[in-house]
């Protein structure tokens, strides 16, 4: 763990729970693609850079989730590096309380205010195309979050952030975090058309052919959504739907998993509703979801 691996002539990554990308800007300076899940990850990353004689110039945060920005504050304090975020995701980086609040739908209870969901605050600049160093290009990958992006390097490596996850994760948890199902599926279809020498998912095996993993993520998403549709055969409340989902997939239940999975289930219900397959029913001050059969 936290091994430095070379992926291209100028591109490296640190193998850790949420992979950290490294791109050499010149002989002395590097750019990080994400910063790991916490302060300790930031310390280990900096130790690796210093061991190679590299100076950290900037961090590109692919999206705002805490396991990708957790090392920001430490690295910024130690190196005065510039941190870039994109779109609405940048705001969450500046105000980390927004992540657990977004998941909970209000000010979050203390059980959601910890490093897995709430990084330390860091100053992030809005990323523009002209801010990207020569040799890097941005690939929009929305769905997992609103402003998620990937990075292509000029030595033909693509960092895919969290637009898909490894098959081992799919098999273990079945439900991956999705903010917008429609854009998530569109992103995966887009990923299938990309070509590169190497693809680096943050939570999956590095590979030269990304199509099988993209298809596995698409297939899993559609299967889970059909299971949720089936739960709506008889009108069902959201809480009962969540309980059934946890039971069906035998998922470990706690406040964090409920918060994460509820976002995905809500996104799927919203998608099914937009597609005209599920109706929203209000009855006796209750809100239900009910499948529409024509």
Nearest CA to 267 out of 202, 176, 141, 167 is that of 176
**Which residues lie closer than 8 Å to 213 by C-beta, 6 or more apart?**
164, 166, 167, 201, 204, 205, 207
Measured CA distances, 138 to 85, 103, 181 (Å):
12, 27, 21
**pLDDT one-digit tens code per residue, 144-192:** 999 999 999 999 999 999 999 999 999 999 999 999 999 999 999 999 9
User: What backbone phi and psi angles, to 5 degrees, belong to 170?
Assistant: -60, -45
Strand runs labelled E in the chain: 3-6, 11-15, 20-24, 29-33, 55-60, 82-85, 125-126, 136-140, 149-153, 157-161, 198-201, 278-283, 286-291
The pLDDT of residue 294: 62
Q: Are 71 and 96 in contact (CB under 8 A)?
A: no
The pLDDT of residue 105: 95
Nearest CA to 255 out of 100, 144, 145 is that of 100
Output the CA torsion sign for 234, 237, 238, 239: negative
The pLDDT of residue 254: 94
Nearest CA to 206 out of 2, 30, 6 is that of 6
CA distance 216 to 49: 35
User: What backbone phi and psi angles, to 5 degrees, belong to 107?
Assistant: -60, 125
The pLDDT of residue 1: 84
Q: Domains (ranges, CATH) in the chain? A: 3-162 (3.60.15.10), 231-291 (1.10.10)
Measured CA distances, 45 to 41, 199, 276 (Å):
6, 21, 48
The pLDDT of residue 148: 97
Q: For residue 95, how many other CB atoms are within 10 A of its CB?
A: 11
Output the CA torsion sign for 197, 63, 76, 138: positive
Per-residue buried b or exposed e for 214-248, using 16+ beta carbons within 10 Å of the residue's own CB:
bebbbebbeebbebbbebbeebbeeeebbebbbee
Enumerate residue ranges in the chain where pLDDT < 50.
none
């Amino acid at each position: 763990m936290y091994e430095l691996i070379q992926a291209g002539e100028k591109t490296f990554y640190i193998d850790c729970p949420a992979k950290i990308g490294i791109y050499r800007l010149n002989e002395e300076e590097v750019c990080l693609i994400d910063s790991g899940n916490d302060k300790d990850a930031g310390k280990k990353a900096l130790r690796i850079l210093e061991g190679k004689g590299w100076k950290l110039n900037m961090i590109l945060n692919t999206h705002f989730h805490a396991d990708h920005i957790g090392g920001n504050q430490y690295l910024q304090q130690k190196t005065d590096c510039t941190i870039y975020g994109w779109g609405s995701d940048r705001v969450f980086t500046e105000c980390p309380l927004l992540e657990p609040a977004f998941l909970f739908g209000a000010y979050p209870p203390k059980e959601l205010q910890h490093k897995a969901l709430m990084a330390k605050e860091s100053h992030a600049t809005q990323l523009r195309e002209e801010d990207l160093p020569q040799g890097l290009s941005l690939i929009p990958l929305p769905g997992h979050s609103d402003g998620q992006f990937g990075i292509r390097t000029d030595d033909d490596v693509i960092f895919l952030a969290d637009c898909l996850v490894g098959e081992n994760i799919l098999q273990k948890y079945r439900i991956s975090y999705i903010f917008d199902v429609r854009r998530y599926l569109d992103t995966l279809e887009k990923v299938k058309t990309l070509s590169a020498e190497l693809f680096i998912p943050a939570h999956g095996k590095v590979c030269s052919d990304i199509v099988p993993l993209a298809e596995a993520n698409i297939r899993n998403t559609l299967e889970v959504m059909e299971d949720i549709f089936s739960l709506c055969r008889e009108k069902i409340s959201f809480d009962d739907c969540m309980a059934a989902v946890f039971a069906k997939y035998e998922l470990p239940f706690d406040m964090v998993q409920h918060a994460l999975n509820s976002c995905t289930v809500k996104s799927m219900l919203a998608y099914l509703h937009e597609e005209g397959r599920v109706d929203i029913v209000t009855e006796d001050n209750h809100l239900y979801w009910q499948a529409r059969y024509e």
